[in-house]
Amino acid sequence: MGRSRSSSWATDAMTPVGTSTETSAPSFATERAAVQQALDAFCARWLGDIAPLTAEAIRYSLLGEGKRLRAILLMEAYRACGGTGDARDLAASVEVVHAYSLVHDDLPCMDDDDVRRGRPTVHRVYGVPVATAAGLAMVPMAARSAWHASKAMGLSDAVSGDIVRDLMDASGAGGMIGGQLLDLEAEGVHLTLEALERVHRLKTGALIMASVTLGARAALASESRRRALAQYGAAIGLAFQIADDVLDITATTDQLGKTAGRDIALHKSTYPALLGVDGAIERAVALVEEACRALADEGLLTPTLDQLARYIVERRS
């Protein structure tokens, strides 16, 4: 990862969304199709025993357009560590946790948003009580799905249990939920860079990091390989949030598929506010380089994992 990549992205990142630079972005269409198929199967398997309106809200949250980044990261980490089975159902479990977080993040008591993935948020369609119940139901469903997917891959009870534990840890008080709480407490407060990074290593980074380490666990990777992937995941997770902060002030709602300018409206500390747009871009690029170097040192830097790291900061939505 040399200087030319960093300077190229810094230039591209300031190019208005919708220009020709978008056409070179990777689509990961095959991987996304596999995840979509797995999410369809998840809905067919797990939604039959819950209240119909809640099930409809869950289906709405899961099957809309999405990057499927976390699921793709899991599958690619699994392959990089020598996995040869089908990891799509396990990957879908991570997407369920991510979708739950979006449903609750958009609630009026949280970020109070009306648009997600280019359409009305779940609580705008189904109401706050149903959206709240849907989000709560998705967490145990994701745990059950991860267990069944792990067992279907031929993994032992011990490894399957580790996978479920890691997924729940990443989504709980020591990960995503804890980060969300810190984020809410920080509204209207000026955070230092160190404090801001702590918020987002939990709120955004924990589940991204878990995505790659779960792939490594499923492939029965060594501890050193899991550690390298954890470093990669932590770095790209933070880079993802920095890119989000930049896009929030440089893109429109139509381009993002969610409401632009929410960080300013909610008086949040952001990377552009602390570092300037150029400084935020430089920090994101440095994190991508750090991530890929961690994998290269362990012989795990596949072309796709390299491309995914770059996509995280080059994306336009």
CATH number, residue 136? 1.10.600.10
Span of 144-158, 174-188, 253-267 with lowest mean pLDDT: 253-267
Span of 14-23, 82-91, 143-152, 194-203 with lowest mean pLDDT: 14-23
pLDDT in tens, 133-152: 999 999 999 999 999 999 99
**What is the structure's pLDDT at 136?**
95
The C-alpha atoms of residue 101 and residue 136 are separated, in whole angstroms, by 10
Contacts of 305 by beta carbon, 8 Å cutoff, 6+ apart: 73, 76, 77, 80, 232, 292, 295
| C-alpha separations of 279 from 114, 166, 189, 276, 282 in Å | 30, 33, 21, 5, 5
Domain extent, residue 52, equals: 3-314
Residue 162 has pLDDT above 80, yes or no: yes
**What is the structure's pLDDT at 315?**
87
Beta bridge mates, 115: 120
Q: Is 120 helix (H, G, I), strand (E, B) or coil?
A: strand
* C-alpha angle 73-292-90 in degrees, rounded to nearest 5: 15
Which of 69, 4, 65 is CA-nearest to residue 304? 69
Residue 2 has pLDDT above 50, yes or no: no
Span of 141-155, 210-224, 239-253 with lowest mean pLDDT: 239-253
51 in Cβ contact with 271 (< 8 Å): no
Q: Is 116 helix (H, G, I), strand (E, B) or coil?
A: strand
The C-alpha atoms of residue 234 and residue 228 are separated, in whole angstroms, by 10
**Total tally of structural domains belonging to the chain:** 1
pLDDT in tens, 19-53: 233 334 577 999 999 999 999 999 999 999 999 99
Q: Which amino acid is at 112?
A: D
Which strand (E) or helix (H) includes residue 115? Answer: strand 115-116
217 in Cβ contact with 286 (< 8 Å): no
The C-alpha atoms of residue 42 and residue 98 are separated, in whole angstroms, by 14
**What is the structure's pLDDT at 17?**
27
The C-alpha atoms of residue 280 and residue 271 are separated, in whole angstroms, by 6
**52-61, 258-267, 272-281 — most confident range:** 52-61
Name the CA radius of gyration of the chain, rounded: 19
The C-alpha atoms of residue 8 and residue 89 are separated, in whole angstroms, by 36
The C-alpha atoms of residue 213 and residue 227 are separated, in whole angstroms, by 8
Our measurement of the distance from residue 132's CA atom to the centroid of its chain's CA atoms, rounded to an integer in Å, reads 20
